[in-house]
Chain A
Amino acid sequence: DTAVSQTPKYLVTQMGNDKSIKCEQNLGHDTMYWYKQDSKKFLKIMFSYNNKELIINETVPNRFSPKSPDKAHLNLHINSLELGDSAVYFCASSQEMQGIQETQYFGPGTRLLVL
């Protein structure tokens, strides 16, 4: 059973286009995240949502707009794609227990290549 899934797995597109990446988790978690892994493998948080509310926005350009239709889904829409947006994007989720977020579980990643 897939716990955290992302679509698509690969995305190749031209500069200036708009694209979306979808994430779904079937773990019943209440918090979801987007991370970006650059070409040097460095992973950095972009956004976090808790019960559909934005919690973290780590100075990401406003071309990136996350949307959480329900607590099982967190999608990432990117406008006017730039070469520097090429990266692997990971979705993750976790559950709050007694005020503390438990372990984050990651999706398989979406490799985005902007030409």
Chain B
Amino acid sequence: AQTVTQSQPEMSVQEAETVTLSCTYDTSESDYYLFWYKQPPSRQMILVIRQEAYKQQNATENRFSVNFQKAAKSFSLKISDSQLGDAAMYFCARRFQGGSEKLVFGKGTKLTVNP
């Protein structure tokens, strides 16, 4: 099965604290791309961060970073210094390659940021 699993339907964090959202996936490929997208109440899908599987270094974008464990097929998102504007649904996605460039999404994690 080619699935992406987000085991946390909901998470909450205090403002200024750190939170980690988990994601695992299934694949038989050695090279692929992983993404985290954010969907605020406005419904817009916003790219947060992406990771190429061939890179050993974890991707970082300002307060957002990933912990990519290729052998474990794990791709968690860490949000540091959480802000009220981080409240949203977060979707982990994996891109298949080689003629079928679709994104397969997890079911999402709803993040609440408490003031």
Contacts and interface: CB of A to CB of B under 8 A. Distances in A.
Interface of A: 31, 33, 35, 40-45, 48, 55-56, 58, 88, 90, 92, 94, 100-101, 103-106, 108-109, 111
Interface of B: 35, 37, 39, 42-47, 50, 89, 91, 95, 97, 99-105, 107-108
Contacts of A35: 103
Given A45-B102, A48-B101, A101-B95, A40 B107 contact: yes
Contact of A58 (B42, B102, B108): B102
A106 B45 CA distance: 6
Given A41-B107, A42-B107, A43-B91, A103 B102 contact: no
Contacts of A109: 43-45
Given A42-B105, A55-B101, A108-B43, 16 more contacts: A33-B103, A41-B39, A41-B89, A41-B107, A42-B108, A43-B103, A43-B105, A45-B103, A48-B102, A56-B100, A56-B102, A90-B45, A104-B95, A104-B103, A109-B45, A111-B43
